Amino acid sequence: MVYRQSRQDFTQFSLLKITTHEAKYINKYPLNDLTAVRATVSLRNDRLVALSTDYFNLAEKNQDKYWGSGKVEYVYDNTIATGLNLKNGFRYKFFAEVFDQISEKKNLLIVFGFDARHYLKVYKQMIWANRVAGSTGAGDAKLIYYLGGVDNAITPVVNFDNTIRIDNTKNYVFQTLATNMRGFKQNIRNGSSFTLWNSELRIPIFQVLSGRPLRSDFFRSFQLIAFIDVGTAWSGTSPWSPDNNLNLDIIQTGPLTITVKKNTDPIVAGFGWGMHARVLGYFMRADWGYGYADNVLAKKPLFNFSLGLDF
């Protein structure tokens, strides 16, 4: 697989255009009908170009970063699809991943993680879906997880919470989302580790009420959702440790740098409802979630609109 992406980013002094090229080789080896081992190796190039917003950036040289990586996964899956976004059974995977920046010292990143999902039939096509996932890192470099929001959100930039501090002293070289955490914007919690529990009751209401097969794809795929999400992301040894970035506020006033230690509950939760269906060939998800953090319940639900199937 060959992958290319171009995006913009910024630093304190520069507006950057970042172009990524990546080549991957993926191999899957089945051990039996239910289990398999997957292996992935890849090479990646990130080119950072400072856009010529002023004379200083015009003279700035381009930067090229080269990464090599490997990933191993153990997968178990006995699920059976009973409809679109509907399954019965149990599946899980454990994985380990290594990134190394070629020709650069002290930029080794190691990631461990797991993802387990269970789908239980409740009544007719109605199912109760549960997911538990987590990941952590080791090495000189770090991967930062932003907890909050959903996958494939239509407005991810607007939904980013800039009021939550990010510890820029950490050597974060990559970033990713820890989802689903409905009821919050992205970055309600952040760090190099996360753990998350999602629970959904999926009700294909027209299938449940109808006594015969439905011809309309919209009515056949339409689902009412009730959900609860609970999780956290942290830096340091544990979510409650004093070295967790969440428990520190750094205030700079002139020549003074003031560090304020505080006690913030690292666990957040969201609950609510949604309507999911396939429209014009796309599976669309509309969710309304109430966030609960630091013993405070949101007065209004936060709306998320996204594309793609659920977990």
Residue 301 reports pLDDT greater than 80: yes
- The parent domain of residue 149 ranges over 78-231+266-307
Percent of the chain whose predicted confidence (pLDDT) is above 90: 69
Any idea what the CATH number is for the domain that residue 176 is in?
Answer: 2.40.160.50
* 137 located within any domain: yes
Q: Is 134 found in the same domain as 31?
A: no
Please give the pLDDT value at position 93. 97
Q: Is 129 found in the same domain as 82?
A: yes
* 246 located within any domain: no
The string over 224-239, giving b where at least 16 C-beta atoms fall within 10 Å of a residue's C-beta and e elsewhere, is bbebbbbbbbbbbeeb
Q: Is 290 found in the same domain as 192?
A: yes
Q: What is the pTM of this model?
A: 0.89
Structure tokens at 245: 């970035």
Q: Is 39 found in the same domain as 97?
A: no
> What are the helix (H) ranges across the chain?
55-58, 205-209, 217-221
Q: What is the pLDDT of residues 170-183, one digit of tens each?
A: 889 899 999 999 99
> Which phi and psi angles does 19 have, rounded to 5°?
-115, 125
Please give the pLDDT value at position 157. 64
Residue 57 reports pLDDT greater than 90: no
Q: Is 6 found in the same domain as 47?
A: yes
Which DSSP string do the residues of 46-62 spell out, in sequence order?
EEEEE--SSHHHHTPPP
Q: Is 34 found in the same domain as 1?
A: yes
* 217 located within any domain: yes
Q: What is the pLDDT of residues 170-220, one digit of tens each?
A: 889 899 999 999 999 999 999 999 999 999 999 999 999 987 888 899 999
Q: Is 218 found in the same domain as 183?
A: yes
Q: Is 194 found in the same domain as 45?
A: no
Q: Is 23 found in the same domain as 146?
A: no
Q: What is the pLDDT of residues 82-111, one digit of tens each?
A: 999 999 999 999 999 999 998 787 789 999
Number of domains in the chain: 2
Residue 239, CA distances (Å) to 127, 140, 212, 244 in order = 32, 20, 50, 6
